[in-house]
């Protein structure tokens, strides 16, 4: 019998992320539709998004606290089990308070794949699996895999419309997609189970923040501003805006988010290439500001065509800071602090992001549909300027050696 070749931890992480982000790609569009079918209004949908992000933040904080006790592999398997239970719980629940509880406890992601309890664990594992020279490219590939999977997931969001043609009720067809989401979580857990037990662990035992504490706290504070801004336009709320303002069908909206995710995927290797020439911080800032300007312009665009064009330009630019940001955090701390740094920078982001969807939902419900987009764009520009000023002299190892 031939023994199967071992699979590297990075390949397993990429594979599991592809499955997770495929699920997020369709759930992010179907969530507002499903909740609307249960009688939720825009404000209540915003509350669900807020609770989901808040729960993710608290779970990530807990992972950061116990990350020195349990292996990364164990925590990833447990998170996958929670993903499976979340999908099944949404199917079984129709009572509003219970939906709120499930959103808080579970893994439903109303935004992009970069806001997830899985992310800090995978970041830590990846950073310990590659050299400094290859770190940004590794994170870029990780982000590309997620973006491409999310793009395909966006297309799958149209599935309920086709399932309903068979005579199945629309609500049941939506519930079948939540069942599919649960199955993806189960499969991702099986992939994580193939990782070596010590995958992602540094040779030096992980420690709480020490020498890098001040840098990480500053980064966490700035990232929180960015995340709070982004919470105003999480994808579920953007989809709701497109459904309500322009009466887009699920199929059309799915195609739009498919193209958006493809553009984001294409941009990430470019971000890696650009970072080797102008630096990680400069890449983060000078690609982010134009994307925020496009978002503000889209909010006041008079036609669907112009709004979608501006949003697609934004999509091509707005995610270029994702692999560079992840790489930068792992680069400016000591190896034994990476797990703690990943958690400390992720938790405030999630907490800050959790505050704004409910505010955006309230603004939508009162007719101020453009205001969340404008607030998001202005705050993100302020964040970019502050990040550039604060960290212009804090270089990662590869830039110090250049």
- Looking at residue 112, its pLDDT comes to 58
Predicted TM-score (pTM) of the model is: 0.77
Of 5-14, 102-111, 141-150, 236-245, where does mean pLDDT reach its minimum? 5-14
Name residues whose C-beta falls within 8 Å of residue 306's C-beta, 6 or more positions apart in sequence. Answer: 298
Contact of 322 with 114, CB cutoff 8 Å: yes
Domains within the chain, CATH numbers bracketed = 9-200+210-401 (1.20.1250.20)
pLDDT digits (tens, 9 = 90+) for 297-333: 999 998 999 999 999 999 999 989 888 898 899 888 8
Average pLDDT over the chain reads: 86
| pLDDT reading at 169 higher than 50 | yes
More confident: 335 or 113: 335
Residue 165 banded pLDDT, cuts 50, 70, 90:
confident
- Going by C-beta distance under 8 Å and a sequence separation of 6 or more, which residues neighbour residue 8? 129
- Joined together, the tokens standing for residue 361 give 């939902």
Angle of helix 321-331 relative to helix 132-156, nearest 10 degrees, comes to: 140
For 137-276, list the strands marked E by DSSP. Answer: none
What is the distance between the alpha carbons of residues 273 and 87, in angstroms, rounded to a whole number? 38
**343 pLDDT above the threshold of 80:** no
pLDDT recorded at residue 5: 45
- For residue 219, is pLDDT > 70? yes
| 230, two tokens | 């982004």
């Amino acid at each position: 019998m031939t023994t199967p070749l071992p699979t590297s931890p990075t390949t397993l992480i990429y594979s599991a992320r592809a499955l997770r982000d495929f699920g997020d790609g369709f759930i992010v569009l179907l969530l507002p539709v499903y909740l609307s079918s249960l009688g939720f209004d825009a404000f209540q949908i915003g509350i669900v998004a807020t609770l989901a992000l808040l729960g993710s933040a608290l779970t990530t904080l807990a992972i950061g606290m116990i990350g020195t006790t349990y292996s990364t592999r164990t925590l990833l398997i447990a998170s996958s089990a929670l993903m499976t239970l979340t999908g099944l719980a949404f199917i079984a629940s129709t009572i509003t308070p219970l939906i709120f509880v499930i959103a808080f406890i579970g893994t439903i992601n109303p935004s992009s794949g970069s806001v997830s309890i899985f992310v800090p664990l995978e970041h830590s594992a990846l950073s310990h699996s590659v050299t400094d020279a290859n770190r940004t490219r590794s994170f870029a590939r990780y982000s590309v895999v997620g973006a491409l999977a999310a793009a395909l997931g966006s297309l799958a969001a149209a599935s309920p419309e086709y399932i309903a043609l068979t005579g199945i009720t629309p609500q049941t067809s939506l519930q079948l997609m939540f069942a599919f989401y649960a199955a993806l979580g189960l499969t991702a857990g099986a992939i994580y189970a193939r990782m070596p037990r010590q995958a992602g662990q540094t040779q030096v035992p992980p420690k709480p923040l020490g020498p890098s504490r001040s840098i990480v706290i500053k980064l966490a504070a700035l990232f929180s501003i960015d995340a709070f801004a982004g919470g105003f336009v999480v994808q579920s709320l953007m989809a709701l805006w497109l459904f309500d303002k322009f009466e887009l069908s699920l199929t059309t909206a799915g195609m739009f988010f498919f193209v958006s995710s493809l553009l984001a995927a294409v941009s990430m290797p470019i971000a890696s290439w650009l970072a080797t020439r102008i630096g990680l911080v400069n890449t983060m800032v000078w690609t982010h500001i134009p994307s925020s300007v496009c978002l503000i312009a889209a909010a006041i665009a008079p036609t669907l065509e112009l709004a979608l064009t501006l949003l697609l330009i934004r999509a091509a630019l707005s995610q270029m800071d994702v692999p560079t940001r992840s790489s930068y955090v792992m680069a400016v701390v000591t190896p034994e602090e990476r797990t703690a740094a990943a958690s400390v920078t992720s938790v405030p982001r999630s907490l800050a992001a959790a505050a704004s969807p409910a505010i955006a939902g309230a603004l939508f419900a009162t007719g101020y549909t453009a205001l969340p987009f404008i607030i998001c764009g202005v705050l993100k520009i302020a964040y970019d300027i502050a990040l550039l000023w604060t960290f212009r002299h804090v270089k990662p190892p590869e830039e110090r050696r250049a």
